[in-house]
Amino acid sequence: MRYSQLRAFHFVALKGGFSRAAAAMHITQPGVSEQVRKLEQDYDVLLFNRERKVIALTQAGEQLFLLTKQFFEIEQHIDEYLSEARTEMDGRIRIIADSARHVTQILAEFRKRYPKVHVLLQSGNSEDVVDRLRSYDAEIGVLGGLSPGADIETLDLGKTQILAFAGKGVVPIGTKRMRLEDLAHFPLVFREAGSKTRENIEREAQRQGVVLSPVIEAEGREAMREVVASGAGIGFVSQAELGDDQRLIPIELEGVDLHMSETIAFLGQRRDLRIIRAFTGVVQDLLSSNGTVQDLG
């Protein structure tokens, strides 16, 4: 196995094709193809399925790609370490968040300090966040809950109350509080499975012996917000994420003590990556001065 073979494989998997990999590596496509072919031949393993000029990673390829992500990140980490004292921070940071509202101020401050860093912000539920961190497809996660796993390190952003909310005309005028058993008589809009807010509501309803059945399941918080705002039903969200949308009516939940903890998360074995240290440093500075997620949002 040679470094050039691993690098060729990694770029093909990363870019999704031999031509794009060749362009990124500044070598010829036949050169890339030959390096990958030799790697497969030397170890008698198929890394890519090739059909009609479309390639896809095999199971063995998927496993190797995870390893090469780690390998080339360590290489990058070494380069950053050697050059840290003489260069300004640049590069890219990938953030996946269950709600972008929790990182708006953090991102503003991060951009002030590190203007040359490109930020890629994507959304996903808490399960998506953890999966993306573990597969090296994101450096930073923002999710509900404090215990995503022993391999994930977190910074606590604080907690906020879980509320129900509805569009105008769904509940009687003046409604400010409702019990879970009252909500059972209304159409409900839930997030997809994997949402921590949904998990908390369903667990409490089960504890109380209340059956809450959604009429609509919406993929993502923004989709749920728009469905609820249209008047299709009642949804659930943390107070910090509700915002000041005039289309929505907040409803306090009586007889429950439900809160959402929000955390910044990252893979523990990547804690020394320069870009992660920079981001978490910004978070810690803001928490020292502001205190909780409500203030940061």
Asked if 97 contacts 105 with a C-beta cutoff of 8 angstroms, the reply is no
Q: What is the pLDDT of residue 297?
A: 45
Q: Is the pLDDT of residue 89 over 80?
A: no
Q: Which amino acid appears at position 279 of this protein?
A: F
Phi, psi at residue 90, to the nearest 5°?
A: -140, -165
Distance separating alpha carbons of residues 81 and 117, to the nearest angstrom: 17
Which tens digit of pLDDT belongs to each residue from 27-58?
999 999 999 999 999 999 999 998 877 899 99
Structure tokens that stand for 267 in this block: 């893979």
Q: Is the pLDDT of residue 107 over 90?
A: yes
Which tens digit of pLDDT belongs to each residue from 5-31?
999 999 999 999 999 999 999 899 999
Distance separating alpha carbons of residues 287 and 230, to the nearest angstrom: 36
Structure tokens that stand for 104 in this block: 């708006």
Outline which parts of the chain fall under CATH 3.40.190.290: 158-260
Q: What is the pLDDT of residue 54?
A: 85
Asked if 260 contacts 146 with a C-beta cutoff of 8 angstroms, the reply is no
Q: Residues of 127-153 as b/e, b for ≥16 C-beta within 10 angstroms?
A: bbbbbbbbebebbbbbbbbeebeeebb
Structure tokens that stand for 135 in this block: 């597969």
CATH class, range 91-157+261-296: alpha beta
CATH class, range 3-71: mainly alpha
Q: Which is higher by pLDDT, 167 or 291?
A: 167
Which tens digit of pLDDT belongs to each residue from 218-272?
988 888 989 999 999 999 988 877 777 889 999 999 999 888 878 899 999 998 8
Q: What is the pLDDT of residue 293?
A: 44
Q: Under DSSP, is residue 274 helix (H, G, I), strand (E, B) or coil?
A: helix
Outline which parts of the chain fall under CATH 3.40.190.10: 91-157+261-296
Q: Which is higher by pLDDT, 149 or 233?
A: 233
Which tens digit of pLDDT belongs to each residue from 72-82?
988 888 877 77
Share of the chain above pLDDT 90, in %: 59
In the CATH scheme, what is the code of domain 158-260? 3.40.190.290
Gyration radius of the chain over CA positions = 23
Dihedral sign (CA 243, 246, 247, 249): positive
